[in-house]
């Protein structure tokens, strides 16, 4: 579904990403791991269109997407979260989910002002979908709270729900477990697996929590100092000498 070939990103003299290639197939959970500053988030930013890659090809569902504006890439069905939670803090939880469905609702000004039947129908559909996902991530009782007042773990879940209401095919999660306690991490683990099984969503994951990564990933890509180091199944990665060296240093 997503294929990245020889992706490079240069910031002035710094080559942040150097020749990274990766593939995500349908209903797969793929992880990108690597030490801090390895360029994982830069890869994310290039794929999702926030950066224009210096060179390389990105194909999503058979379409070349490098160089497209970020919001257009997102509309193709590829949604991401951020390392730091980015919610609409002063809006309520439910409003956050309604905004995410902006392009699915009737945005025609006149039909909105007149509350035409088609406008009402789309709005109530959006509300139902939002309610469905709130229930799924266990936030339904907090629907009318301001998003900024939620606990950190709840904000993380809301961010994932906000991505899911857009109906994506590929969900990109940037360190979703950062700052979560062990119980919340386990819940997240279940949620991600259920997204794959029940909603046919592929997931591209950046994560430092090795327990989570090894447990749920179908394949793992290791990046170190911007260059690809290894890729394979969790078992292959766990025993790969290069990976061990990069993580633990030479012995």
Residue 82 as a binder of another protein (CB under 8 A): the answer is yes
Q: Which of residues 99, 178, 193, 214 is near another protein by CB under 8 A? A: 99
- Spatial strand order of the sheet with 14-24 comes to 14-24, 2-11, 55-60, 63-64
In angstroms, the CA 31 to CA 48 distance is 16
- Distances 45 to 16, 17, 83, 189 between C-alpha atoms, Å: 12, 11, 11, 24
Q: Which of residues 10, 19, 21, 88 is near another protein by CB under 8 A? A: 88
Between 102 and 245, name the residue whose CB sits nearer to another protein: 102
Residues 137-196 that bind another protein (CB under 8 A): 140-141, 143-144, 146, 162-163, 166
Q: Which of residues 86, 121, 197, 238 is near another protein by CB under 8 A? A: 86
Pick the stretch among 89-97, 150-158, 206-214, 221-229 that binds another protein (CB under 8 A): 89-97
In angstroms, the CA 214 to CA 233 distance is 9
Which parts of 45-185 are beta strand (E)? 55-60, 63-64, 78-80, 170-174
Residue 247 as a binder of another protein (CB under 8 A): the answer is no
Which DSSP helix (H) or strand (E) runs through 23? strand 14-24
Pick the stretch among 79-87, 176-184, 185-193, 202-210 that binds another protein (CB under 8 A): 79-87
Q: Which of residues 15, 68, 131, 193 is near another protein by CB under 8 A? A: 131
Q: What share of the chain is helix, strand, coil (3-state, %, to 5)?
A: 45, 25, 30
Q: Cα angle vertex 240, ends 235, 243, to 5°?
A: 115
Q: Mapping DSSP to helix (H, G, I), strand (E, B) and coil, where does residue 79 land? A: strand
Residue 128 as a binder of another protein (CB under 8 A): the answer is yes
In angstroms, the CA 63 to CA 69 distance is 14
In angstroms, the CA 159 to CA 139 distance is 11
Q: Give the residue carrying structure tokens 């290069």.
A: 242
Between 164 and 243, name the residue whose CB sits nearer to another protein: 164
Pick the stretch among 11-19, 53-61, 106-114, 222-230 that binds another protein (CB under 8 A): 106-114
Pick the stretch among 32-40, 103-111, 208-216, 223-231 that binds another protein (CB under 8 A): 103-111
Residue 199 as a binder of another protein (CB under 8 A): the answer is no
CB of 214 to another protein, least distance (A): 28
**Which positions touch another protein (CB under 8 A)?**
48, 50, 70-72, 74-75, 79-82, 86-92, 94-96, 98-100, 102-103, 105-107, 109, 112-113, 115, 127-128, 130-131, 134-135, 140-141, 143-144, 146, 162-163, 166
């Amino acid at each position: 579904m997503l294929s990245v070939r020889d992706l490079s990103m240069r910031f002035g003299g710094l080559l942040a990403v150097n020749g990274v290639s990766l593939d995500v197939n349908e209903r797969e959970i793929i992880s990108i791991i690597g030490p801090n500053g390895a360029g994982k988030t830069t890869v994310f930013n290039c794929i999702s269109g926030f950066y224009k890659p210096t060179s390389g090809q990105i194909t999503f569902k058979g379409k070349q997407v490098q160089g497209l504006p970020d919001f257009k890439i997102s509309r193709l069905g590829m949604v991401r979260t951020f390392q730091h939670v980015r919610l609409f803090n002063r809006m309520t939880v439910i409003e956050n989910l309604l905004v995410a469905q902006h392009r699915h609702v009737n945005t025609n000004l006149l039909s909105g002002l007149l509350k035409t039947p088609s406008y009402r129908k789309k709005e109530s559909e959006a509300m139902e979908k939002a309610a469905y996902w709130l229930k799924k991530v266990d936030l339904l009782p907090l629907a009318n709270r301001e998003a900024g007042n939620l606990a950190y773990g709840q904000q993380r879940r809301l961010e994932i729900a906000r991505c899911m209401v857009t109906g994506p095919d590929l969900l990109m999660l940037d360190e979703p477990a950062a700052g979560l306690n062990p119980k919340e991490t386990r819940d997240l683990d279940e949620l991600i697996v259920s997204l794959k099984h029940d909603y046919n969503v592929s997931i591209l994951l950046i994560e430092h929590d090795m327990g989570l990564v090894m447990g749920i990933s179908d394949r793992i890509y290791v990046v170190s100092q911007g260059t690809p180091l290894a890729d394979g199944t969790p078992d292959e990665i766990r025993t790969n000498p290069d990976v061990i060296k990069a993580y633990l240093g030479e012995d």
